[in-house]
Amino acid sequence: MRITVAEDLNAFYSLVAWRIAEAVIAKPDAVIGLATGRTTTGIHKALADIWAAHPFDTSRATVFGMDEITHVSREFPGSCYDMLLKQVVLPLHIPMKNFLMPPVESDDFERECRLFDKKIEARGGVDLQILGIGENGHLGFNQPGTPFGSVTWISRMDEALDARIRRESGSAPDADLGGFTIGIRNIMMSRRVILAANGSNKTGIVHKALYGPVTTEVPASVLQLHPFAEAILDPDAAGKLPAEG
């Protein structure tokens, strides 16, 4: 896996943002998978700044969210839909018909999962998948133990995240919060993937994911097997990596 360590945090955000911009400039009808969270919020801000300074054609690009919380309102500011809409789709003027998101409500989520995969396939598959990493190595909502052969599915929330979302979204105590997520197999089928990580809270897990054994206990370790994967890190997240040279 290619490993790129940015000079500082701002350079990290800008580097990942430029990778996304370049993918669309090189292929205007590119299909780009996005993630949400603190890491990608900074990346998306940098991307919006790039677009404002150097607008490029986004009329044919497709962006989709790799995961979403089920049974919370799309208007909830912590929903992946709301974040990607405000951080990427509106600032880059991506047509709404080219913004694909998992549904938050359905009486048949299994069918919705198959439908989501079909929609992405119909657009030619994923050109670039941007990934954050959880402190336990999760990708999207694929927690440790998720089989590498998994395709889009509904995973269980971990308890802490479940409690936080309930508190912040005001969702009903009996709402069945789940993690709609593309699976590990979907991630591996993307033509290119970028794992983006910053901060000293990610140093240990980044080291395990990049240099440890490839194991379902560390979902991100599977990326070692992807032919076109790049890890982009800030100096803090890269802290424990072997010195270059």
- What are the residues binding ligand GLP (CB under 6 A)? 35-39, 67, 132-134, 140-141
Buried residues in 201-226 as b, exposed as e (16+ CB within 10 A)? ebbebbbbbbeeeeebebbbbbbeeb
| Closest residue to ligand GLP using C-beta atoms | 132
Which string of b and e fits 104-122 if b means at least 16 CB within 10 Å? bebeebeebbeebbeebee
Residue number with CB closer to ligand GLP (36 or 216): 36
Length of the chain, please?
A: 245
Least separation in angstroms between residue 140's CB and ligand GLP is: 5
**In the complex, what is the shortest distance from the CB of residue 60 to ligand GLP, in angstroms, rounded to a whole number?**
26
Residue 57 vs 168, nearer CB to ligand GLP: 168
Shortest reach from residue 196's CB to ligand GLP, in Å:
8
Choose between 27 and 148: whose C-beta lies nearer to ligand GLP.
148
Q: Which two tokens stand for residue 165?
A: 């979302």
CB contact at 8 A, 131 and 196 = yes
CB of 84 to ligand GLP, least distance (A): 11
CA–CA gap between residue 50 and residue 132 (Å, rounded) = 21
Which of residues 23 and 219 has its CB atom nearest to ligand GLP in the complex? 219
